């Protein structure tokens, strides 16, 4: 309890927050920790970097520990409002949008990730996931073919893509 009170008085104290998370995980007391995160958003309103870090923690706790998908998505979207290139938030949203079958939001997230990542293998994975959603979830074969062509423009010898384009 005294740690929770200390964290309320010092919401930007990263060391204290890390200790609370460790205890929250050890004691499986995520509800109180999430309540603390929610309460600390206001005092951090003028500290965008601290608020981004807090909303990332809040989103992870909500998504992974409490399975509160909707509120977790809101937390990660707030991160992107303050830090549009935050790949951690984008990857988290990718997972949540897949879980909730939010295909349009997933496509927008995958498109943004493709713009941000440099690793060729990860760029391919993102595009392949996008093409699969376009083809299998939305039934838009023409759009999927265009995405597969983008993969080929980056990797002309990709046999999997060549096979998919025969559709």
Q: Which of 7-11, 88-92, 102-106, 126-130 has the lowest mean pLDDT?
A: 7-11
Q: How many CB atoms lie within 10 A of CB 45?
A: 9
Question: Is residue 163 scored above 70 in pLDDT?
Answer: no
Question: In this structure, what token pair is assigned to residue 37?
Answer: 């995160």
Backbone CA torsion sign across 8, 13, 19, 22: positive
CA nearest neighbour of 19 among 39, 40, 33 = 33
Spell out the SS3 assignment of 79-91. HHHHCCCCHHHHH
pLDDT in tens, 36-92: 889 888 878 888 998 999 999 999 999 999 999 999 999 999 999 999 999 999 999
What's the pTM value of the predicted model, to 2 decimals?
Answer: 0.83
End-to-end Cα, the chain, rounded Å: 60
């Amino acid at each position: 309890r005294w740690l929770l009170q200390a964290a309320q008085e010092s919401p930007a104290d990263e060391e204290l927050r890390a200790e609370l998370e460790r205890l929250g995980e050890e004691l499986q007391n995520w509800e109180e920790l999430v309540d603390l995160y929610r309460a600390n958003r206001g005092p951090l309103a003028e500290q965008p970097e601290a608020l981004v870090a807090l909303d990332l923690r809040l989103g992870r706790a909500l998504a992974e520990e409490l399975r509160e998908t909707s509120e977790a998505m809101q937390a990660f979207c707030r991160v992107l409002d303050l830090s549009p290139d935050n790949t951690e938030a984008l990857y988290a949203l990718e997972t949540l949008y897949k879980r909730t079958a939010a295909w349009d939001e997933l496509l927008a997230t995958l498109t943004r990730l493709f713009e941000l990542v440099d690793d060729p293998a990860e760029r391919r994975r993102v595009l392949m996931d996008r093409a699969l959603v376009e083809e299998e979830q939305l039934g838009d074969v023409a759009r999927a073919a265009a995405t597969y062509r983008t993969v080929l423009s980056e990797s002309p010898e990709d046999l999997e893509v060549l096979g998919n384009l025969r559709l």
